[in-house]
Amino acid sequence: MIEAIGEGIAVNDAEVAILSRIFSVKPEDDRLILTKETPEVDIETCRTLQKEIRFFQQGNIEIEFIPTKAIEGILILRGEVSADITDSNPIYEGRPLMEILPIEEAEDSAVALGTAEALNSYMKWCYKTLSSHPINLERQKKGLLPINAVGTQRAGKMTGLIPFRQKWGLNPLSIASGSLYHGLCGFLGMEIRKVRDTGDVEEDLIERLRIAKGADEFDFIHVHTKAPDVAAHTRNSEHKRSVLESLDRALSYAREEILPDGEILFIITADHSTASTGMMIHSGETVPITMCGRYTRRDDVTGFNEISCAGGGLGPVRGKELMYLVLNFLDKGKLFGLMDSPPGMYKPLRIRDEQEDT
């Protein structure tokens, strides 16, 4: 759902959106084995194949594949559908595509089962349709992998959510390049400045920091770069090191142009670890975090890394605690247990009745 919002795809409350992609599989023992999750294929070929699997219907459930970037797309499910279903994309090459099932805690197990069955039928139909397409027959003659299956993950449905500003009392802005972040921040009611990745990691981050510095009307600014995550996924530790060094150089802009403002709380952290070796896509170690501002404590940590930061004055910080620390170090925190209103959003009691005002 978040990716759909980020791509500007209109989804109503009754529909389900699922992140999807076309990729390469091979049949083996009545299974479809993922051979290449990100095959090299031109955009024209992608669009031609995606058009062939655009619409599907089973019973009262309609499925539409909407292309986004290259092999990627969003499936929109309409009818009596549920988002309480599992994924089909195994992610790891060499593993079979997974049968979609209702999750155990499904709100309506019957609707979830019907949704899963319709999607499983759609995936089988996609495999047969794409495998017999002239483009794939020609690719196989040339020794190229066919683009012959659809994988799905992260089904979602619109739900009610307290907007960021209302919950935390801060006027928020996000500066990021990916549709996932555009969608997530848009879902939270944040203002979004879309930027692009040029390939120059250092200059890209400096430009985002420049935008942040000039955005005086906002109280909370999220500046994002996916560069270290992308570098780690290459499993090339030297490349990852080079990218991190580029980001270090870019942060000199923040040190010179942003940190001197004593009213600013500057935070650097990450959302997860990404292993440079092994099979895992994301790993579960703690990530470093540093905060610099007028009200932050000073400790003896001099290096920004997982080991050093773990011994710092902040201690281990859980994700759900981060915003409370932000308010604390902005001098905007409230005494825990007060039940007045979100920070900065209170409504004063008026001593005159509305009738007296008129």
Residues 6+ apart with CB under 8 A from 275: 232, 282, 283
Q: What is the rounded distance in angstroms from the CA atom of residue 293 to the CA atom of residue 146? A: 54
pLDDT at residue number 274: 85
Tokens coding 81: 């559908």
Instruction: Supply the pLDDT for residue 341.
Output: 65
pLDDT at 39: 92
Start-to-end CA distance of the chain, whole Å, equals 47
Phi and psi, residue 57, nearest 5°: -140, 135
Please state, in angstroms and as integers, the Cα–Cα distance from residue 312 to each residue in 108, 156, 269, 302, 306, following that order.
46, 38, 14, 9, 11
Q: Are 21 and 77 in contact (CB under 8 A)?
A: no
Give the pLDDT of the chain (358 residues) as one tens digit per residue. 678 777 888 888 899 999 999 999 999 999 999 999 999 899 999 999 999 999 999 999 999 999 998 999 999 999 999 999 999 999 889 999 999 999 999 889 999 999 999 999 999 999 999 999 999 999 999 999 999 999 999 999 887 788 999 889 899 999 999 888 898 898 899 999 999 999 999 999 999 999 999 999 999 999 999 999 988 888 888 999 999 999 999 999 999 999 999 899 999 999 888 887 777 788 888 899 999 999 998 999 999 988 899 889 998 899 999 999 999 999 988 777 666 666 666 677 788 876 666 5
Element (H, E) at 28: strand 16-28
pLDDT of residue 4: 79
Q: How many CB atoms lie under 10 A from the CB of residue 161?
A: 11
- DSSP classification of residue 319: G
CATH no. of 164-329: 3.40.720.10
Strands 172-176 and 191-194: parallel
Give the β-pairing of 220-223 and 172-176.
Answer: parallel
Instruction: Give pLDDT, residue 98.
Output: 96
In this predicted model, what pLDDT tens digit does every residue of 179-233 receive, in sequence order?
888 988 988 999 999 999 999 999 999 999 999 999 999 999 999 999 999 888 8
In order of 254, 292, 302, the CA distances from 299 in angstroms are 20, 11, 9
CA–CA separation, 189 and 266 (whole Å) = 22
Do the Cβ atoms of 264 and 258 come closer than 8 Å? Answer: yes
* CA pair distance 242, 352, nearest whole angstrom: 65
Say how far apart CA 76 and CA 10 lie, in whole Å. Answer: 10
What is the model's pLDDT at position 357? 61
Rounded Cα–Cα distance for residues 230 and 40 (Å): 17
Q: Which of 212, 301, 222, 305 is nearest to 261 (CA)?
A: 212
pLDDT of residue 46: 96
pLDDT of residue 354: 67
**What pLDDT was estimated at residue 273?**
87
Chain segment 249-280, per-residue pLDDT in tens: 999 999 999 999 989 999 999 988 888 777 77
Which residue carries 């848009």 as its tokens?
186
Q: Do residues 340 and 349 lie in contact, with contact meaning Cβ atoms separated by under 8 Å?
A: no
Domain range summary for the chain, segments of one domain joined by +:
2-156, 164-329
